[in-house]
Structure 1
Amino acid sequence: MHVEDRERIGRWASSIDGQLIDAGCGPGHWTDFLYQRGASVQGIDLVPEFIESARVRFPEVPFRVASFRNLDVPDGTVHGVLAWYSLIHVPPDELSSVLREISRALTQGGQLLVGFFDGSPGDSFPHAVTTAYYWSPSRWGTF
């Protein structure tokens, strides 16, 4: 984990008092990072093998298989969602609906922290897990 990412995510999490979701948690290292800082956090990922690996590596941290498309939480109950280089895998034509689901889950004033690769919005590129897409800061404001 890059030191700047740790600092940024740590600052973000320290400003939130309540439930966090690490959406697209992969191997669980960011979920554990938040948990070790005292956050009430759970990691979710669509890939069962990632969740199983995360549970083995960090047995005290809650992880579950879930999708961005259905976070499986009641409306307005999540105070923050970390989507650190995970929404990059959502096809451009599906991103608005995924953001609506995240918004549905967030409390009023809840926060979403997104990590992404800056580039021509919606352009795809090969990635280690599956196809990924570039975004730009200005594009995020249009969803």
Structure 2
Amino acid sequence: MNKSELCINLWFCFDKEAGFVDAIAGRGYFLNGSDEQKTAALKILASSDFQNAVWQPIPDRYQTKIVSSVKSESESFSGVVHSSDIDILGLDLFEEVFKQIESVNQIYCPIKNTGAVKVPDEPLYVITPIEYSNGMIKAITG
């Protein structure tokens, strides 16, 4: 029998034109079934649940350097990453999101004092990009 496991949907919102990410979000779900079943459920939920997620800015510890090709000068910006760096940054980028998921799940725990809800060290998760373009947002699922 497969036991219930805290599984995570993660999202990052990026501007389609520039490719920069300035917000991240996540939601936790206690799911049963095989890893394949849990992953399938997360993917289904990812396409719409991002609208109910609590969005957070990219932490200031992450910086992006932009080089001007005209002036050959560069400028660094805090709290912004490029969408192409999401895989490189990995789950560390979502550390504050995990803390938020833990606090929300603790608040709604039906039986108080049964132990803290913690995101596992290696959670089962799905990351879904959310594209912002021309005033519209949509999940990029595939």
Give the TM-score normalised by the residue count of structure 2.
0.26
TM-score by length of 1: 0.25
Q: Looking at secondary structure, tell me which structure has more helix per residue.
A: 1
Q: Which has the higher contact order (CA 8 A, sep 6+)?
A: 2
Q: Which structure carries more strand by proportion?
A: 2
Larger Rg: 2
